[in-house]
Amino acid sequence: MKPLVTVTNIFPQIALDKLSSECDLNINRTSLTKEELKQKISGSDAVISYLTDRIDQGIIDKGTKLKIIANYGAGFNNIDVTYASKRGVWVTNTPNVLHETTADLTWAMILGTARRIISADRYTREGKFQGWGAKLFLGGDIYAKTLGIVGLGEIGQSVARRAIGFNMRTLYHQRNRLPDGEEKKLNVEYATFEKILRESDFLTLHVPLTDKTEYMISNDELALMKKTAYLIHTSRGKVVDDYALVAALKEGRLAGAALDVYEDEPQITEGMAELSNLMLLPHIGSASFETRDKMALLVAENVLDALSGKTPRSLVPSYPQ
């Protein structure tokens, strides 16, 4: 009898084909409620989950045969990893395959918010464009400005490499400083968190959600930023205090911002939709055809590893070996 793999939502066919020869698949096409997820996971040997699936102790306990929870995404804060480990259940994610795509989107957000692309597009579609105007949709320059990157992991480094073409001064901050050779290669300069807040013209966030990064950007941090600065956020929603950001944008204490993730995702914070200096995207950091297929294939490989008795190849960070 083949092992049973539950897929909680739509999933690329290329990965389903890879799994189907060795597993029975329980495929769902829409989001599952908590009770539905409990029911589906019961009897499953593996589950392929979305970031929107909250897999807590109660759900894990239902998976009496469960060997692996394979998250279809780089994040994993939707899963109680500590409890899963205690139960002997592997937890995996999809690192090393989505950083270039997310860096591309980060730059689209930098350019789009500084040059007011979305507002200008809407203005034109609404038939308001009457010809060139000296003050029509004035925005901010990017070339030769200061870029601040908080979190210089795979995505942050990919963002930094692209900044070289814009002749930018690039500051970075993270817990561990890179070796001198790596800094020179990326053309980056290490800075304290306070310095990066004060000096960045564009501040982009690429950190995981932890106790230390939760609400790392709130009222006090926004108060240190230039009024002409832009905040770009593609990491995890609760890294930024959305209410504090809305207030700063409304009061002109920040020039603009672009968000791909939200504090209470999928809900956006009250007041956001009305702000013309805020770009709102629906969590599409890794949304290219090629990257989503690569992610799905890695998920499938993790599942097959676990079901064959091997240690999965991409355990979440700090998972007990």
Active site residue 236: yes
DSSP-assigned letter for residue 175: S
Angle, in degrees to the nearest 10, between helices 13-20 and 289-307? 20
Active site residue 125: no
- Res 286: pLDDT: 94
CATH number at 4-96+289-307: 3.40.50.720
| CB-side neighbour CA atoms (13 Å) of 303 | 32
Domain ranges of the chain: 4-96+289-307, 99-280
Q: What DSSP string describes 40-88?
A: HHTT-SEEEE-TT--B-HHHHHH-TT--EEEESSS--TTB-HHHHHHTT
- Res 274: pLDDT: 96
pLDDT by position in tens, the chain (length 321): 899 999 999 999 999 999 999 999 999 988 888 899 999 899 999 999 998 899 999 999 999 999 999 999 988 989 999 999 999 999 999 999 999 999 999 999 999 999 999 999 999 999 999 999 999 999 999 999 999 999 999 999 999 999 999 999 999 999 999 999 999 999 999 999 999 999 999 999 999 988 999 999 999 999 999 999 999 999 999 999 999 999 999 999 999 999 999 999 999 999 999 999 999 999 999 999 999 999 999 999 999 999 999 999 999 986 665
Per CATH, the architecture of 99-280 is what?
Answer: 3-Layer(aba) Sandwich (3.40)
First to last CA, the chain: 29
C-alpha pair distances (Å), 292 with each of 74, 101, 282, 295, 319 = 11, 10, 15, 5, 24
- ∠81-86-87 over CA atoms, to 5°? 95
Structure tokens at 8: 């909680």
- Res 203: pLDDT: 98
Domain 4-96+289-307 shares a fold with domain 99-280: yes
- Res 31: pLDDT: 84
Task: Tell me the one-letter amino acid at 14.
Answer: I
pTM: 0.90
- Res 319: pLDDT: 63
Catalytic residue (one of 236, 263, 292, 301):
236
DSSP-assigned letter for residue 261: S
Structure tokens at 206: 């690429």
